């Protein structure tokens, strides 16, 4: 992997699963002994990023937090690509939970 | 050949799609209040929207990033969230004003009650968005909006004093009521550079799968589309000056704006103006509702896109549905859409720097943009406009308070 700047090329970037599905954003990084070990994504991370307004946004979002081990990163370009599908990590669950309801409306698959 | 045809069709749609309720209200009211003295502001606003649209279209083509991707990456989560919330609030106000505008146009065309037409408008727009592909939406509303060209015919037919019109292009300050004059300067610039246009433009570039090869197309689209759209703004201001200033009328109702075409062109002029307003503002409300959904989805990394079916991007779809409902809730209170428009434009002027600063930063980032980063012209213009936007943002609300929202 080419040299990347964690703050600039990873944090706050789009997460894409192996099928190119947009499945969240890099909301925080897990760092142990100066080594990045994980990516955190989801509303549960927002409070520590933005104070009361982050707490409010996280509460509205349901407070879910997903941890993805750094080994699961396949590639970093303008987005962060993951090795498995979103469902494998529990990412994009908001979309998955909502989909069946929208599918009940005619024309949702036009 | 088909590429040229596509460009031509796209440009036609852009002319029809440029003018929204903010442009209609501010250009006509400026003409009705200050005659031709504010003509100079229109080209400045048009160049501003061209500069920043071209920039974020290029960023989209080269890096695959839309505006709120860039906002979050460049200013981080906390400041980005602040920018997101302000943009969404301004977007919602704009959407509410536009829905009210569509209902007024329908009311004047059909004679039905405004309160009955409001829910029909919202449901109708939502059904169109749900069932119709967005390139078709753009065409239908863009071509319908071309009826607004009737204002250009009216402007010529009214035979304005062309020397005075010409002098209006020289920037100056009015002797009488300078605060109101400045309020209009800010409003006209805010209306021309409405942020939702930039969100929609950049996300559209990504949806159309622009690559660095499309940079020329992007530039042509931005210059010609917005340039010709600005031409309509000039026509609106001339009509406002030639009809309303003469009779001392302040066009406080959207229907009054359409009446500007009746004096020179009769009933057919009025009809075309109303149809034009209906389609232009209807198209703008769809652009606005999508912009709101794009921003939220991009900031949080959700799946988004109009070319996906509604079930393909569930949270994105839910967002635009909720925005429609929220905008309806605002406008159904009976608040006047023209008043709402003025607030929307002034608050969007305040929020402009939050959008434009990250775009300028990303467009200069060699890592993303490589050979396609901003050249000297784009940067000089970008910085000049950034300074101007900052001044506008700081002065907008004081001017609104001093002039009692343009009422004195």
What are the chain A neighbours of B88 within 8 Å (beta carbons)?
none
Judged by a CB distance cut-off of 8 A, whether residue A107 touches chain B is: yes
Percent residues over pLDDT 70 in chain B? 95
Whole-number Å distance between alpha carbons of A41 and B201: 28
The answer to whether B77 contacts A98, with C-beta atoms less than 8 Å apart, is no
Percent residues over pLDDT 90 in chain B? 74
* pLDDT value for B102: 97
Cβ partners under 8 Å of residue B340, min gap 6: B93, B96, B97, B100, B330, B331
The residue among B120, B35, B21 whose CA lies nearest residue B338 is B21
The residue among B77, B53, B80, B81 whose CA lies nearest residue B363 is B53
Q: How confident is the model at residue B133 (pLDDT cuts 50, 70, 90)?
A: confident
Using CB atoms, pick whichever of B72, B81, B368 lies closest to residue A53: B81
User: Would you say residue B231 has pLDDT above 70?
Assistant: yes
- What domain range is A52 assigned to? 6-103
Task: Please say whether the beta carbons of B91 and B292 come within 8 A.
Answer: yes
Q: Which two tokens stand for residue B164?
A: 């005075």
Q: Which two tokens stand for residue B313?
A: 């991007």
What are the chain A neighbours of B64 within 8 Å (beta carbons)?
78-79
Which residue would you say has higher pLDDT here, B57 or B14? B57
- Mean pLDDT of the region B203-222: 90
Confirm whether A24 is domain-assigned: yes
Helices and strands counted in chain B (H then E): 19, 0
Confirm whether A31 is domain-assigned: yes
Whole-number Å distance between alpha carbons of A65 and B151: 55
Confirm whether A110 is domain-assigned: no
Backbone conformation region of residue A15, classed left if phi is above 0, alpha if psi is from -120 to 50, else beta: beta
Judged by a CB distance cut-off of 8 A, whether residue A108 touches chain B is: yes
Using CB atoms, pick whichever of A14, A50, A61 lies closest to residue B78: A50
Closest residue in B to A4 (Cα) is B367
Confirm whether A1 is domain-assigned: no
pLDDT digits (tens, 9 = 90+) for B71-106: 999 889 999 999 999 999 999 999 999 999 999 999
Confirm whether A108 is domain-assigned: no
Q: How confident is the model at residue B2 (pLDDT cuts 50, 70, 90)?
A: low
- Mean pLDDT of the region B139-157: 92
CA distances from residue B84 to A54, B81, B98, B130 in whole angstroms, order as listed: 12, 5, 21, 25
Cβ partners under 8 Å of residue B249, min gap 6: B32, B243, B256
User: Would you say residue A93 has pLDDT above 70?
Assistant: yes
Chain B interface, Cβ < 8 Å to A: 63-65, 69, 72-73, 76-78, 80-82, 85, 130-131, 297, 299-304, 309-311, 313-315, 317-318, 367-368
User: Would you say residue B148 has pLDDT above 60?
Assistant: yes
Sign of CA dihedral A51, A56, A59, A61: negative
* pLDDT value for B16: 62
Helical ranges in B35-177 per DSSP H: 41-63, 67-110, 114-131, 134-145, 150-157, 162-167
- Mean pLDDT of the region A11-24: 95
The answer to whether B80 contacts A12, with C-beta atoms less than 8 Å apart, is yes
Give the right CATH number for B17-402 from 3.30.70.1140, 3.40.50.1110, 3.40.50.2300, 1.20.1740.10: 1.20.1740.10
Judged by a CB distance cut-off of 8 A, whether residue A68 touches chain B is: no
Whole-number Å distance between alpha carbons of B287 and B282: 9
pLDDT digits (tens, 9 = 90+) for A28-44: 999 999 899 999 999 99
Task: Please state the separation of Cα B406 from the chain's center in Å.
Answer: 20
Closest residue in B to A97 (Cα) is B314
pLDDT digits (tens, 9 = 90+) for B302-327: 999 876 788 889 999 999 999 999 99
A33 min Cα distance to partner chain B (Å): 24
pLDDT digits (tens, 9 = 90+) for B335-380: 999 999 999 999 999 988 988 999 999 999 888 888 999 999 999 9
The domain spanning residue A70 has which CATH number?
2.30.30.240
Q: How confident is the model at residue A109 (pLDDT cuts 50, 70, 90)?
A: confident
Q: How confident is the model at residue B398 (pLDDT cuts 50, 70, 90)?
A: very high
Domain count, chain A: 1
User: B49 by DSSP, 3-state: which?
Assistant: helix
User: Would you say residue B23 has pLDDT above 70?
Assistant: yes
Using CB atoms, pick whichever of A8, A22, A102 lies closest to residue B310: A102
What are the chain B neighbours of A50 within 8 Å (beta carbons)?
77-78, 81
What are the chain A neighbours of B364 within 8 Å (beta carbons)?
none
* pLDDT value for B17: 65
Residue A69 backbone phi and psi in degrees, to 5: -60, 145
Confirm whether A32 is domain-assigned: yes
- Mean pLDDT of the region B171-189: 92
Q: Which two tokens stand for residue A101?
A: 């309801």
Mean pLDDT score across all residues of chain B: 92
The answer to whether B82 contacts A53, with C-beta atoms less than 8 Å apart, is yes
């Amino acid at each position: 992997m080419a040299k990347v700047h964690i703050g600039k090329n990873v944090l706050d970037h789009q997460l894409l699963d192996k099928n190119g599905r947009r499945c969240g954003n890099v909301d925080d990084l897990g760092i142990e002994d100066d080594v990045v070990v994980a990516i955190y994504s989801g509303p549960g991370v927002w409070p520590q990023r933005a104070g009361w307004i982050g707490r409010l946004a996280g509460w509205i979002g349901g407070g879910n937090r997903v941890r993805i081990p750094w080994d699961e990163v396949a590639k970093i370009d303008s987005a962060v690509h993951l090795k498995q599908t979103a469902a494998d990590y529990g990412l994009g669950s908001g979309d998955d939970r909502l989909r069946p309801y929208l599918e009940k409306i005619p024309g949702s698959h036009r | 050949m088909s590429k040229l045809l596509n460009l031509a069709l796209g440009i036609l749609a852009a002319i029809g799609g440029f003018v929204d309720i903010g442009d209609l209200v501010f250009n006509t009211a400026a003409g009705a209040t200050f005659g031709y003295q504010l003509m100079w502001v229109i080209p400045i606003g048009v160049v501003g929207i061209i500069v920043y649209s071209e920039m974020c279209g290029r960023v989209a083509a080269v890096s695959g990033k839309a505006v709120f991707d860039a906002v979050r990456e460049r200013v981080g989560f906390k400041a980005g969230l602040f920018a997101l919330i302000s943009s969404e609030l301004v977007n919602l106000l704009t959407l509410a004003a536009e829905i009210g505008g569509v209902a007024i146009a329908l009311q004047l065309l059909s004679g039905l009650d405004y309160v009955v037409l409001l829910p029909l408008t919202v449901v109708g727009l939502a059904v169109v968005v749900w069932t119709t592909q967005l390139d078709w939406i753009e065409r239908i509303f863009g071509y319908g909006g071309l009826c607004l060209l009737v204002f250009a015919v009216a402007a010529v037919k009214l035979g304005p004093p062309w020397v005075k019109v010409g002098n209006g292009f020289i920037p100056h300050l009015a002797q009488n009521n300078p605060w109101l004059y400045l309020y209009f300067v800010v409003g006209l610039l805010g209306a021309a550079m409405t942020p939702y246009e930039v969100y929609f433009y950049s996300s559209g570039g990504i949806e159309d799968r622009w690559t660095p090869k499309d940079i020329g197309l992007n530039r042509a689209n931005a210059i010609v589309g917005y340039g010709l759209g600005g031409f309509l703004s000039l026509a609106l201001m001339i009509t406002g000056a030639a009809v309303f200033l003469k009779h001392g009328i302040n066009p406080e109702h959207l229907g009054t704006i359409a009446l500007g075409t009746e004096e020179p062109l009769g009933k057919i002029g009025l009809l075309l103006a109303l149809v034009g307003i209906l389609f232009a503002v209807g198209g703008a409300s769809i652009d606005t509702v999508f912009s709101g959904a794009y921003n939220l989805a991009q900031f949080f990394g959700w799946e988004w896109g109009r070319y996906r079916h509604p079930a393909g991007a569930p949270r994105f779809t839910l967002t635009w549905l909720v925005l429609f409902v929220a905008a309806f809730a605002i406008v159904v209170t009976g608040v006047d859409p023209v008043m709402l428009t003025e607030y929307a434009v002034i608050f969007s002027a305040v929020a402009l720097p939050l959008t434009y600063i990250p775009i300028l930063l990303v467009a200069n980032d060699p890592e993303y943009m490589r050979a396609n980063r901003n050249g000297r012209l784009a940067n000089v213009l970008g910085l000049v406009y950034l300074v101007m936007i900052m001044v506008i943002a700081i002065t907008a609300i004081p001017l609104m308070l001093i002039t009692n929202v343009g009422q004195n």
